[in-house]
Structure 1
Amino acid sequence: MILTLVTAVVAALIIIYLLHRPPKKEFVYPKEISIRNFIEEASRILATRSYLLYRIGENGITLETNQGCPKPDFQPQLDGLSHEEERYLKKNGFRTMAKVAFRGERLGYLVVFPVKNPDLDRFQGFVQSYTPLLVEKIKTEEKILEASLINELNIKLGTTEDPESFYRNLVTVARRILTQGRIIPAEVRGKDLIFYLLRRKEIRIPIVDLPDEIMSQVIVGQKTVEITTIPEPFKKNLPIHHAHSGLLVPLTTGKRTLGILFYYKRGKEIEPKERTILGFISNQAMIILDKMFAMKNLNRSIQDIIALQKSAQALLVIPKFEEIIDQILKEASRIIGFQRIILSFYNPETNCLDRVGSIGFEPEEWERIRKISPPFFRINNLLKEEYRISNSYYLKHNCCEIAEVKDFLVRREKPAGYPEELPSGLWHPNDILLIPIRTGDGKFLGLISADSPLDGQVPDISRLQVFETFATLLGLSFENAEAFKKLRRLVDKLRSLYNITAPISSVGEFEKVLNRILNLTKENFGYNNISILLKDDEKDELYVKVAVGDYLVDPSQIRLKIGRDGVCGMVAQEGKPKLIQNTLNIPFFIGDRDRPRSEIAIPLRSHDRLIGVLNVEKEGANSLDEEDLTLLSILAGHISVAIENAILYEEIGRLSITDELTGVFNYRHLLDVIKYEIERSRRFQHSFSLIMLDIDNFKKFNDQYGHLFGDQILSALAKLLASSVRASDIVTRYGGDEFVIVLPETTKEQALILAERLRNIVNQHTFEKNVHLTVSMGLASYPIDSQDVFPLIDRVDHLLYISKSKGGNAVSS
């Protein structure tokens, strides 16, 4: 009887021990997460050395490695077994096929193990625990690939010198970045959009054929527009027959649209990430296009100046102006790019304008026009501020019904179906441009009227300034030498400005680039102080980001209240540039009030949003003028785009270390942080700790409420953890429902207190749908538990497993 009782007690104790002992770990994690290490460990578990490795890519599933398997005569399926696969197994004496797929957004692997006597339970356990780690690494590799392609884009675009090569290089690299869709760039050339394809000649689509919403929003409004229906002109002319949705991104400089990027997909919506990358690409493209056109305009300006100089010399050498009118007008037509020009001079005896020369008219037509002498009093009704651009007057066709305009306009027939309104920058057949001819003191001498530009574009400020310079030379030939000195100074400044802005497309070491730009600007233009102030949105203040010069106080300590402090504060509030000729006359000026200075402040804007102010000071009253304001406005535009570009670059960097679902750091960043803390703790003889936790019975929530609610729970838990730890602690998502918290300079005893506090916080928190959670935690410390990265992670993972085996809602250390 006693022997039977003792036997029963011993048997009971053995059963209790077997039920409650920690289960033996059935597999080990490779120190480095990789597909090769996965195959090695999986082969050990399945007791086989044979496998098939397939790569999942844009072109489908392709075999990459066949290790010891009979030649496969089937195309593998990601899930389940096809008839061909079953036939292959039976033919070669295998019992089954163990398969697992690891997939990112564009990369992936499929591993197939044909086996005879597999231990599938152990294999599935290993796969479930290893999959999140390998998928995370694949996504990281994708982001690294994406970053390298963007860098390649910058290099390729930066080395092109003509628009056609620029757009074709853009297509080549952009298609490798945006793999789920296709991109076609187009250049605005005259009244057409010129689309560039890789293997075809350019395709021309008239802008007037575009739907009104695209013309008004993209070309005119310079806004990015998503389309769900492909426009008919695109379907008809472009090879996009299977496209369902698209994005039109304008490429602009100032108020002028240089081109568009047309990105389209098949049957899918445009994703936020694609919008971000397209924004980055378009900003880079605009910077380089701006420089390309600036250089083109600079070369053209130099040629124009040479031509103007020849014209001026002719005016000085030949005493009778009438003898060279035809020659001057031909040169003017070539310089300013207009087909039809009329030159009129004021006749004080008749108080009318006499037409003395023209180009672009038939003899009979010109004879009729020449006989019309418009009265001088009507000029004031035309030269109104509302029509003024620079020192010229641009009258659009819809204001050309008034009698005064009819005296100057020679109407032309419009093509059938021609729209009444065209995109900003395009010339209507019945528009007209008037350029007054004045003396140095502003006395009116005559008028040049022009229409029919060769490129179909409304001339920009730089072209108008050349035209106005020509008009000035006509009226002020005796001041020729002075006029050309000014023009040469302008060319030198434009050349200097181009050299200054050359490095601005670089996104690395952004503050150093800005410092270099400001120093070059100060040296080339003789300014005393120049600074870039950025807006602090939270405090509604401006702070100095970069400054060069002699300031009375440390610029880094300067904070200006918007709308209250100084010239910059006022400019930030009003959003308009200011030219102050004498700062001593400005009561709200902040700075040296002992000596007179001139100051220019220009708002820096990005997509109609104020981001800062460019500020320049120069000693002496009236030392800055409108020419400085124009040049600095061009520089401010480059700086604004560069700042936005840097922000986008930082955002891409942030995305590469952030978990997309929860917003906390990802596994890649966790490894970097642990490596850094090990090195720092070893150097300074400190401790640091890791807490690994996961949600108890998380599968129950997924089964009861669905995976979407499960994702919401993970995101909410991540926010709760991030708000509950110290500022120095780092919360990361390890994978699945597991999180790891890095506690710098924290001993195990201190970490245990924090872990218990976190466990209680989670216990007491009420999540959505009145859900309450518990979490299990493992806690390991450096150097007590381990002194290397992966062994330390392995230790804290093991301790978490112990907490789970105790029933959860516990901390094991």
Structure 2
Amino acid sequence: MLNVKVLLSLLESMNVGVIFTDSDDIVRYCNAAAQVMKKIQPETIIGKKIHCCHPNKTQGKIIDAIEKMKEKKTSSWQRMPTPDEPFLENMIAPVFTPEGEYLGLVMITLDISGQKELTDKLKKSERELTALFKASHTISSSLNLNDVLFKILLLAGEAINFSSGTIYLLDEDREMIVPMATTDCLLGEKTSEAVDYYTPDNVIAFAVRSGEMVTVERGKLGFNQIRERPNTNIILVLPLKDQDESLGVLVVESENRDIFRLEEQELLTTFANHAAVAIRNAQLFTKTKQMAIMDGLTNLYNRQYFDQILNQAVSQTKRKDSYLTVIMIDVNDLKFINDYFGHVMGDNVIKAAASVLLHSVRDSDTVCRYGGDELVVLLPNTSQSETAIIHNRILENVAKWNDEENQYPDVTLSLSVGWATAHGKDGLGDILTRADQNMYEDKRRYKMGIHEESPVERAKKQYYSY
């Protein structure tokens, strides 16, 4: 038979709490571990009812549980965890004689704080992974770049409750890092706040070049390089990389210096990797759409796009009861230039003509390459006098380009104008045809050296309806 002293010695050395009661549920023994876990002294528990070593709000549950165990007359353990820190788990079992006489209770107390912390971490990780999966699916569901950027900031803010966020993207030349979106609003390309890719000692440029995350606290080097809020105390710069290629950075700010712990940094890093894939897909989609409507040589809109916007412009002109102008431009002597100087020189002349046109028109006008040596400018809601100004500006800029570039052969253009009002005698739908017909007349005059009547005047005389 086990010696009582040896038994008590073993109980005192255990790292679990042990409490014995008698048949009246009076505590007769409480080991050292139970005293530490429950933060009680022996004199406050020995000789008192067992429920007294529990918080007031749980004493009623303890009493009810003990009475139910007595009624069953079985020595089964019942788990009774505590809801507050320190997180303890109590295992209570009644003791009966073989005849069913109740002798008392045994309570085993375990410290499950570590288990609770692990469980909480697992639950937190599950929530974060669920949020990450949802975010990845959501941001990948759109191919509109602005929409993708907005969703990235919105969902990142839901995952980590930071104060403000900004997305910077590299431009096409990979020379400037441009702020494209913030949690406040979409910026669009705003070069005044752009960062030079090669700027030394700049945290944003460093993160893009190196592909490494950067953390900057208020008062530390690099903090003032970022457009932060007045209450910001810490900034996290996360690279946006797709297949090891840097696309830009996600910059998040917070007033709470402790918000970006290791777990949060890892979550945001994973999120940024998913976001980069969505950004790249949206950029490729945008580029593909642009390629479908852009001329590869001149970077002007192509014939297909011009046909679309011409129909829209005609409808808008009728709706607003205004007027519409089309200027057809033909690059003179292009066949001779191609045959004599080569097609590379011919391409350069066409690109020069396109550049001149872009620098001569207004923001509301559209310049397109119509085909071959023909270019076209669509001028909505443009009067005859305004058309004349733009027409003359084109010719002036051509002459200026020839003088400044001093390149042979010179760029010479033939211009013809189609002009109509919403209710003129000639239909708006025929405006392009009329401009094209006038082109032949203008080229004939060019070859004969006849320039006494401008294309604008000719358009007004032939087609303007008062």
Fold match (TM-score > 0.5): yes
TM-score normalised over the length of structure 1? 0.35
Q: Which structure has the larger Rg?
A: 2
Counterpart of 2:365 in structure 1 is 729
Counterpart of 2:161 in structure 1 is 527
CA 1:726–1:647: 2 relative to 1, 3 Å: same
Q: Deviations over 1:249-275 (max 9, x none)?
A: xxxxxxxxxxxxxxxxxxxxxxxxxxx
Matched, 1:806 2:464: no
Residue identity matched to 1:806: R
Give the one of 348, 352, 355 matched to 1:719: 355
Counterpart of 1:637 in structure 2 is 273
Residue identity matched to 1:770: Y
CA 1:703–1:555: 2 relative to 1, 3 Å: closer
Matched, 1:788 2:425: no
1:633, CA displacement in angstroms? 0.3
TM-score normalised over the length of structure 2? 0.59
What 5-or-longer segments of structure 2 have no aligned partner?
1-13, 15-110, 460-466
Residue identity matched to 2:434: R
1:615, CA displacement in angstroms? 1.0
Q: 1:758-777 maps to which residues of 2 (within 5 A)?
A: 758-759=394-395, 761-762=397-398, 765=402, 770-777=408-415
Alignment: residue pair count:
327
Give the one of 419, 436, 460 matched to 1:797: 436
Give the one of 339, 342, 357 matched to 1:703: 339
Q: Following the alignment from structure 1 to structure 2, what is the Cα–Cα distance between the partners of residues 768 and 757?
A: 20
CA 1:803–1:532: 2 relative to 1, 3 Å: same
What 5-or-longer segments of structure 1 have no aligned partner?
1-318, 320-475, 549-553
SS at match of 2:353: helix
Counterpart of 1:611 in structure 2 is 248
1:627, CA displacement in angstroms? 0.7
Q: 1:226-375 maps to which residues of 2 (within 5 A)?
A: none
CA 1:662–1:763: 2 relative to 1, 3 Å: same
1:497, CA displacement in angstroms? 0.9
- The 8 Å contact of residues 678 and 787 in structure 1, kept in 2 or not, is answered as no
Give the one of 494, 501, 514 matched to 2:129: 494
CA 1:639–1:795: 2 relative to 1, 3 Å: same
Q: Deviations over 1:303-347 (max 9, x none)?
A: xxxxxxxxxxxxxxxx9xxxxxxxxxxxxxxxxxxxxxxxxxxxx
Q: Following the alignment from structure 2 to structure 1, what is the Cα–Cα distance between the partners of residues 130 and 156?
A: 12
- The 8 Å contact of residues 353 and 411 in structure 2, kept in 1 or not, is answered as no
- The 8 Å contact of residues 350 and 373 in structure 2, kept in 1 or not, is answered as yes
1:684, CA displacement in angstroms? 3.0
- The 8 Å contact of residues 317 and 381 in structure 2, kept in 1 or not, is answered as yes
Q: Following the alignment from structure 1 to structure 2, what is the Cα–Cα distance between the partners of residues 732 and 770?
A: 25
Counterpart of 2:384 in structure 1 is 748
Q: Deviations over 1:661-717 (max 9, x none)?
A: 322111112122222322333333332311112133433333333444333322222
Q: Following the alignment from structure 2 to structure 1, what is the Cα–Cα distance between the partners of residues 145 and 341?
A: 47
Of the structure 1 ranges 636-645 and 770-779, higher mean CA displacement relative to structure 2 is found in 770-779
Q: Following the alignment from structure 2 to structure 1, what is the Cα–Cα distance between the partners of residues 433 and 201?
A: 58
CA 1:636–1:518: 2 relative to 1, 3 Å: same
Q: Following the alignment from structure 2 to structure 1, what is the Cα–Cα distance between the partners of residues 375 and 218?
A: 61
Of the structure 1 ranges 658-667 and 478-487, higher mean CA displacement relative to structure 2 is found in 478-487
Q: Following the alignment from structure 1 to structure 2, what is the Cα–Cα distance between the partners of residues 555 and 673?
A: 26
Q: Following the alignment from structure 1 to structure 2, what is the Cα–Cα distance between the partners of residues 769 and 484?
A: 76
Residue identity matched to 1:695: V
Counterpart of 1:61 in structure 2 is none
Residue identity matched to 2:168: L
1:771, CA displacement in angstroms? 1.1
Matched, 1:503 2:138: yes
Q: 1:454-465 maps to which residues of 2 (within 5 A)?
A: none
Residue identity matched to 2:154: N
Residue identity matched to 1:779: V
SS at match of 2:297: coil
- The 8 Å contact of residues 314 and 428 in structure 2, kept in 1 or not, is answered as yes
Q: Following the alignment from structure 1 to structure 2, what is the Cα–Cα distance between the partners of residues 496 and 597?
A: 26
SS at match of 1:533: strand
SS at match of 1:800: helix
- The 8 Å contact of residues 678 and 782 in structure 1, kept in 2 or not, is answered as no
CA 1:672–1:535: 2 relative to 1, 3 Å: same
Residue identity matched to 1:527: N
CA 1:526–1:729: 2 relative to 1, 3 Å: closer
Counterpart of 1:482 in structure 2 is 117
SS at match of 1:724: coil
CA 1:777–1:517: 2 relative to 1, 3 Å: closer
Q: Following the alignment from structure 1 to structure 2, what is the Cα–Cα distance between the partners of residues 573 and 689?
A: 48
Give the superposed CA RMSD: 4.0
Residue identity matched to 1:805: R
Report % sequence identity: 24
Q: Deviations over 1:84-108 (max 9, x none)?
A: xxxxxxxxxxxxxxxxxxxxxxxxx
1:514, CA displacement in angstroms? 3.7
Counterpart of 1:156 in structure 2 is none
Matched, 1:577 2:213: yes
- The 8 Å contact of residues 544 and 559 in structure 1, kept in 2 or not, is answered as no
- The 8 Å contact of residues 691 and 740 in structure 1, kept in 2 or not, is answered as yes
1:792, CA displacement in angstroms? 0.9
